[in-house]
Structure 1
Amino acid sequence: MIYLGVALAEIFACIAFWMWSRRGRSIGWLVACMVSLLLLAALFTQSPPDVAWRSVWISGALYVVAGIGWKWLAERRRLEQRELIGGGLCLCAIAMILLAPYDA
Structure 2
Amino acid sequence: MNAIPLYILAAVGEIAGCFAFWAWLRLGKSPLWVIPGLLSLVLFAWLLTRIEADFAGRAFAAYGGIYIAASLVWMAVVEGARPDRWDMIGSGICIFGALIILLGPRGG
Tell me whether the two structures share a fold, i.e. TM-score over 0.5: yes
Is 1:8–1:59's contact at 8 Å kept on the other side of the alignment? no
Alignment counterpart, residue 54 of structure 2, candidates 50, 53, 57? 50
Alignment counterpart, residue 76 of structure 1, candidates 72, 75, 81? 81
Gaps of 5+ in 2: none
Cα shift at 1:57 = 3.4
Bigger drift between 67-76 and 85-94 goes to 67-76
Residues 68-99 of structure 1: CA deviation (Å, up to 9, x unaligned): 335545243561x3332222112111111111
SS at match of 1:95: helix
Identity among equivalent positions (%) equals 34
State the distance in 2 between where 1:70 and 1:39 align.
Answer: 17
- The residue identity in structure 2 corresponding to 1:56 is F
- Aligned match of 1:101: 105
State the distance in 2 between where 1:100 and 1:61 align.
Answer: 15
* Aligned positions, number: 103
Bigger drift between 42-51 and 7-16 goes to 42-51
In structure 2, the CA distance between the partners of 1:28 and 1:49, relative to structure 1 (3 Å rule), is: same
Is 1:16–1:32's contact at 8 Å kept on the other side of the alignment? yes
- The residue identity in structure 1 corresponding to 2:81 is R
In structure 2, the CA distance between the partners of 1:85 and 1:31, relative to structure 1 (3 Å rule), is: same
In structure 2, the CA distance between the partners of 1:77 and 1:37, relative to structure 1 (3 Å rule), is: closer
Is 1:16–1:30's contact at 8 Å kept on the other side of the alignment? yes
Give the CA RMSD over aligned residues. Answer: 2.9
Alignment counterpart, residue 31 of structure 2, candidates 27, 30, 37? 27
SS at match of 1:24: coil
Is 2:17–2:37's contact at 8 Å kept on the other side of the alignment? yes
Gaps of 5+ in 1: none
Alignment counterpart, residue 17 of structure 1, candidates 11, 17, 21? 21
